[in-house]
């Protein structure tokens, strides 16, 4: 990297993304082809994310005729949010979001059933085709399917979708004005078009069958030397009179390791379920440390002809709770975890699939093996990433401090529980089903219905419901930050569902976030932005060390810090800043504390692994001479300006931790180079160096892709970072320095063009188009005069 002194800064980045290779293919449920709608082939569902969609936003409720005649339509791509919001969302848009798409009729669709599948649409959906209403759906987080077959006509067919994301008493939760998170809006997840033969495997959610529909995989026996894979397949036969066969092939990579086939007794039945069992010798079991995956290939034949094929990615594993402890494949396990909101800045929920993967990779790299999906179903892309990276999930329905005692609300909540399980039951990552309204006073008969729905939809052993009330559920979710008595002895398996935030924010430690009394001092809180400086970031880390250490004084088998990323709230015009990373996914000191709790030889995903060490300091004028060091090594040595000044084994008071922290106190602050060397078996295994920086003098520009998998693809979201360095190239921690970004080529700036630095970094959000070559990004800051840096590709 060359540096040339100039008076005015201009940093240029040429992103040669095409040189990185094709975008990583997502996990397949059926063979998928990302071609245009007019090129759809039977058996190849089409992702309708690119060209062709038009969008219109309306604050008021328009009639269908008024919407069609409006001149306000604009071209968009999916995933899409109705409005780009400011970084701090002070008035999230609510209203009607309209979408339309022309779908050409294909000749090969003759005698086929044609469906459109929505992975998520916020919040009340109405769908028309060629002017006729063909479907509706309530709830913004779960998939739904609409059949198009009867209304298709020759030529173009106009699909029209209206989405209403206003407050809703049936779907809940609290109204936005009192809600602790934002729900955003729009077609913010993938949409698929598919054509099916008369004989085909049904969609698990659309079929609406209890403990059936689609492919349903269970593991009656799991051992190191042998395992059974039981596969239930729901087939729509229609009027087909030919003999039907279902065949399964289990693939380890491309190698078949088990097969099974069976003829179906289909006489007199339009829909039927086939059940077969495959035996796998010496299986590669799935666990957080070894997230081994297989492909289950299911084929359906009618009269000897292949009529449908579906690939399901599975992991053979056993979760078992015994005497309040968790055993994964027979091994006792404690799950160190975190809660996640799925929000990005500016675009809200409308993340690319690759961005979802990057979030999962950051969580794994932070030292976590467990994620509570707060407080709603997260995207299928995140679920697939969790399977691949070894993140155990607590899968939740929507709910937060809201219960509406009406039949409509109760029925809708129970149905979302059933649809959640039907969508996610084959993911090896799912430990339990949080069919519970978080922090809500639910009557016991309602809890009984939710608990029963879990076991009706997923019959068998080692299936668990979870809820924040001790009554009714298999697993009790008790939040440390809401325990007025600090701790209640549970009578059942127990997860510390949330901790580390609220109890350091409000002295009442209760649920009422509308009551702002009894607040602790701001500098004692865990809610600290990157810009709040070293002392407050150290306080956040201290709170988390204390709380996580305390969790081991309980019989919990898992805990979940609140929360992974800073996020926006509906009721407050600021960021909830208890995240281990900023909303732009930049780490705080606390991120490295949790990273130090993972063993060096344990799997950490594509972004981390091995030994690590990190000094929780900036080592700038005003820094304390006392600080913590986080490491998973045996000893840490501190050197100041090249001279050893201290060496120690872990010596903090937090002795319950898997890797207790190191605390050092030097005689005084001395500017220069502060270095930590981590030792294992007497050898240096990791280093971390801090340098006292001067004033900002140059910019360093990069685009973060969070590793090589997945590489950036079309319609992807990426963070561009400008780091403010001093004249010697050292990282500064300057706040409020304006940096202006300029972007050209097939890409757009989602964030404002001018971003102010936070802790020495200015982060812009960019969205790529479909042509990944020739994208140029520039950054400049008139307050600096230092150097120019040119990069030739995104690292």
Structure tokens at 142: 């779960």
Query: pLDDT tens across 55-89, in order?
Result: 999 999 999 999 988 989 999 999 999 999 999 99
Give the pLDDT score at 508: 52
Give the pLDDT score at 28: 35
Choice among 463-467, 519-523, 662-666, 736-740 with the minimum mean pLDDT: 519-523
For every residue of 717-758, DSSP letters joined together read EEEEEEEEE-TTS-B----S-EEEEEEESSEEE-S-SEEE-B
Model confidence at 21, pLDDT cuts 50, 70, 90, reads very low
Whether 555 has a pLDDT exceeding 90, the answer reads yes
Give the pLDDT score at 485: 53
Q: Which superfamily, per CATH, for 613-617+621-691?
A: Immunoglobulins (2.60.40.10)
Higher pLDDT, residue 238 or 649: 649
Give the pLDDT score at 507: 59
Give the pLDDT score at 594: 98
Pairing label, strands 11-15, 790-791: parallel
Q: What would the mean pLDDT of 491-510 be, rounded to a whole number?
A: 82
Q: What would the mean pLDDT of 473-486 be, rounded to a whole number?
A: 78
**pTM of the shown model:** 0.94
Whether the Cβ atoms of residue 343 and residue 182 lie closer than 8 Å to each other: yes
> Which CATH number is associated with domain 28-198?
2.60.120.260
Average pLDDT, the chain: 90
Q: Which residues contact 446 (CB under 8 A, 6 or more apart)?
A: 403, 410, 413
Give the pLDDT score at 518: 57
Q: Which superfamily, per CATH, for 215-314?
A: Immunoglobulins (2.60.40.10)
Whether the Cβ atoms of residue 560 and residue 337 lie closer than 8 Å to each other: yes
Q: Which residues contact 343 (CB under 8 A, 6 or more apart)?
A: 181, 182, 184, 349, 565, 567, 568, 583
Q: Which superfamily, per CATH, for 4-16+696-791?
A: Immunoglobulins (2.60.40.10)
Answer CATH for 334-576 from 3.30.70.1450, 3.40.50.10860, 3.90.1170.50, 3.20.20.80 = 3.20.20.80
d(CA 249, CA 760): 53
Model confidence at 268, pLDDT cuts 50, 70, 90, reads low
SS (H, E, C) 145-177: EEECHHHCCCCEEEEEEEEECCCCCCCCCCCHH
d(CA 204, CA 59): 35
Whether the Cβ atoms of residue 710 and residue 731 lie closer than 8 Å to each other: no
Do the domains 613-617+621-691 and 334-576 match in fold? no
Query: pLDDT tens across 353-381, in order?
Result: 999 999 999 999 999 999 999 999 999 99
Whether the Cβ atoms of residue 205 and residue 215 lie closer than 8 Å to each other: no
In the chain, where the domains are located: 4-16+696-791, 28-198, 215-314, 334-576, 613-617+621-691
d(CA 420, CA 434): 10
Q: Which residues contact 25 (CB under 8 A, 6 or more apart)?
A: none
Q: Which residues contact 560 (CB under 8 A, 6 or more apart)?
A: 337, 338, 339, 370, 371, 372, 394, 495, 496, 497, 498, 499
């Amino acid at each position: 990297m060359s540096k040339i002194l100039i008076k005015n800064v201009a940093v240029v980045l040429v992103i040669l993304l095409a040189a990185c290779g094709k975008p990583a293919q997502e996990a397949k449920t059926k063979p998928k082809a990302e071609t245009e709608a007019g090129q759809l082939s039977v058996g190849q569902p089409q992702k309708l994310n690119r060209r062709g969609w038009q969008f219109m936003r309306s604050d008021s409720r328009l009639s269908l005729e008024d919407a069609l005649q409006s001149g306000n339509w604009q071209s968009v791509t999916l995933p899409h949010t109705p409005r780009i919001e400011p970084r701090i969302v002070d008035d999230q848009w609510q209203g009607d979001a309209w979408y339309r798409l022309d779908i050409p009729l294909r000749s090969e669709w003759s005698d086929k059933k044609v469906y459109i599948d929505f992975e998520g649409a916020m919040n009340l959906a109405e769908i028309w085709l060629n002017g006729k209403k063909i479907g509706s759906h309530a709830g913004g987080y779960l998939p739904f399917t609409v059949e198009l077959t009867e209304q298709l006509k020759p030529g173009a067919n106009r699909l029209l979708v209206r989405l209403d994301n206003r407050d809703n008493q049936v779907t809940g939760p609290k109204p936005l004005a009192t809600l602790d998170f934002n729900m955003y809006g729009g077609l913010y997840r993938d949409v698929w078009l598919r054509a099916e033969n008369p004989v085909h495997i049904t969609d698990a959610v659309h079929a609406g069958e209890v403990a059936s529909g689609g492919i349903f995989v269970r593991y009656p026996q799991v051992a190191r030397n042998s395992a059974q894979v039981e596969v239930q397949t729901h087939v729509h036969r229609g009027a087909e009179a030919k003999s039907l066969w279902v065949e399964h092939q289990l693939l380890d990579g491309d190698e078949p390791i088990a097969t099974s086939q069976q003829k179906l007794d289909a006489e007199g039945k339009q829909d039927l379920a086939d059940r077969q069992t495959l035996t796998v010798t010496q299986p590669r079991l799935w666990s957080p440390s070894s997230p081994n995956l297989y492909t289950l290939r299911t084929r359906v034949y009618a009269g000897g002809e292949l009529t449908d094929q579906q690939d399901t990615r599975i992991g053979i594993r056993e979760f078992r709770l015994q005497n309040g402890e968790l055993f994964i494949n027979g091994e006792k396990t404690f799950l160190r975890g975190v809660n996640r909101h799925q929000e990005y800045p500016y675009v809200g929920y409308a993340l690319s699939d690759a961005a979802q993967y990057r979030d999962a990779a950051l969580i794994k790299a932070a030292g976590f093996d467990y994620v509570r999906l707060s407080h709603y179903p997260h995207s299928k892309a995140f679920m697939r990433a969790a399977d691949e990276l070894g993140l155990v999930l607590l899968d939740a329905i929507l709910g937060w401090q809201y219960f509406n005692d009406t039949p409509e609300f109760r029925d809708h909540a129970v149905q979302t529980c059933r649809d959640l399980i039907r969508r996610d039951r084959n993911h090896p990552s799912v430990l339990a089903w949080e069919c519970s309204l978080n922090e809500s006073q639910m009557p016991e008969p309602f809890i009984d219905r939710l608990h029963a729905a879990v076991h009706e939809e997923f019959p068998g052993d080692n299936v668990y419901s979870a809820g924040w009330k001790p009554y009714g559920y298999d697993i009790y979710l008790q939040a440390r930050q809401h325990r007025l008595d600090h701790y209640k002895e549970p009578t059942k398996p127990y997860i510390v569902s949330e901790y580390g935030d609220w109890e350091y924010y409000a002295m009442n430690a209760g649920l009422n976030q509308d009551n702002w009394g009894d607040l602790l001092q701001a500098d004692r809180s865990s809610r600290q932005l990157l810009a709040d400086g070293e002392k407050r970031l150290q306080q956040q880390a201290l709170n988390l060390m204390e709380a996580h250490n305390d969790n081991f004084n309980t019989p919990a088998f898992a805990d979940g810090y609140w929360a992974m990323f800073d996020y926006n709230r509906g009721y407050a015009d600021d960021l909830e800043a208890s995240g281990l990373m900023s909303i732009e996914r930049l780490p705080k000191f606390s991120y490295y504390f949790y990273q130090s709790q993972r063993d060096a030889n344990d799997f950490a995903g594509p972004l981390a692994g091995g030994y690590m060490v990190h000094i929780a300091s900036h080592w700038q004028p005003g820094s304390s001479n006392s600080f913590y060091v986080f490491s998973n090594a045996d000893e840490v040595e501190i050197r100041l300006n090249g001279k050893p000044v201290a060496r120690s084994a872990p010596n903090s008071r937090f002795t319950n931790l898997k890797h207790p922290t190191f605390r050092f106190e030097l005689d005084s602050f001395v500017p220069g180079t502060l270095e930590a060397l981590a030792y294992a078996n007497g050898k240096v295994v990791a280093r971390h160096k801090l340098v006292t920086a001067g004033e900002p003098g140059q910019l360093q520009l990069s685009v973060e892709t969070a590793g090589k998998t997945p590489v950036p693809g079309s319609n992807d979201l990426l963070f561009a970072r400008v780091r403010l360095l001093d004249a010697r190239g050292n990282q500064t921690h300057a706040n409020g320095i304006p940096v202006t970004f300029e972007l050209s080529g097939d890409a757009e700036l989602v964030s404002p063009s001018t971003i102010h630095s936070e802790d020495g970094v200015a982060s812009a959000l960019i969205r790529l188009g479909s042509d990944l070559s020739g994208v140029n990004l520039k950054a400049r800051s008139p307050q600096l005069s230092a150097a120019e840096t040119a990069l030739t590709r995104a690292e």
